[in-house]
Amino acid sequence: MAAKAGYNNLKVYTEGVPAWKKAKKLVVVKNSWLAKNLNNHHVIVDVRPSQQSQTAGIKTAVAFQTSQLLEMNKKFKQEKAKSKNKILPKLVDKSAPIIIYSDQTDTADAKQAYQILRSWRYKNVTVLDGGFSEWTKKQLPVQNNVLLTEINFVKKLVKGAISPQNFKKLYDTNNGIVLDVRSKKEVSSGKLSKSMSVPLDTLEANLNRIPKDKEIAVHCVSGVRANIAYNLLKSKGYQNVSFLNNVITIDKGGNYRIE
């Protein structure tokens, strides 16, 4: 297991990252990689004081000072908020890749912001290697006098996944089958009225109920079981099938929200 030298109290491992994250140690991302991934599939957070971020910052970054995070964290603790409710505005997806940056890698504000977001159960938080100082030295893309304050994150679709917009379209138009693979107990608390319910553990035994000539979109609660169902259906010769790789909540009336 190799460590990168040059930063006090900072180690960057080339393997064993899950354990390193679990210990809430800083994990950094290379600026050369980030420069190639300045898109809405990544959330770049500028935690420097506002007077600095207003002057210049990394292109597509959102300014969100560490002081703001500390205030939010204090409020969450006072309210005894659940982990799912401890979120950055408009960022409910706890698997979203978040890249924090300050002036340098190991500054106090970057470390504090990192620890706070990790404590809120965001799974993929990293700190920019070298910070904004190194970024500008390498003349990488910046934006001047622009202070973005709203996160616009779009989850990158994995193989076989359907976007929330297309899932909604399929369901609303009734041009295919929405397959619910949650348990009977989960279904009893709320179900999409036009969906077909087949619990995952009974799916293979009930394939005769599912036609192969229709488009199929599978959902569960978070996408994990839907992905398993998707792979099973593909292995059984279903061609026009996809799965919802998002958290979906459904109430007793069949109203739903996709996060």
pLDDT in tens, 220-230: 999 999 999 99
Q: 174 and 128 in one domain?
A: no
Confidence of residue 181 (pLDDT cuts 50, 70, 90): very high
Please list, residue by residue across 98-108, b when 16 or more beta carbons sit within 10 angstroms of its beta carbon and e when fewer do. bbbbbbbbbbe
pLDDT tens digits along 50-65: 889 888 999 999 999 9
Listed residues 144, 172, 202: the one ending a domain: 144
- Same domain for 139 and 23: yes
Q: What is the mean pLDDT of residues 88-106?
A: 92
The residue from 83, 113, 144 where one domain ends is 144
The token pair at 196 is 């077909």
The radius of gyration computed from the CA coordinates of the chain, to the nearest angstrom, equals 22
Pairwise CA distance, residues 68 & 213, whole Å? 52
Residue with tokens 């560490």: 66
The predicted pLDDT at position 21 comes to 55
Placement of tokens 């106090």 in the chain: 108
Residues 111, 37 share a domain: yes
pLDDT of 175 over the 60 cut: yes
Name the DSSP class of 184: H
Distance CA 210, CA 256 (A): 23
What average pLDDT does range 183-210 have in this prediction?
Answer: 96
Both tokens assigned to 38: 């300045």
**Mean pLDDT over each residue of the chain, to the nearest integer:** 89
How is the beta sheet containing 28-29 ordered, strand by strand? 28-29, 124-128, 97-101, 43-46, 62-63
Domain range enclosing 50:
17-144
Could you tell me if 75 and 121 lie in one domain? yes
Same domain, 134 and 218: no
pLDDT class for 10, splitting at 50, 70, 90?
A: very low
pLDDT for 84 equals 84
Pairing of strands 97-101, 28-29: unpaired
27 plus 138 within the same structural domain: yes
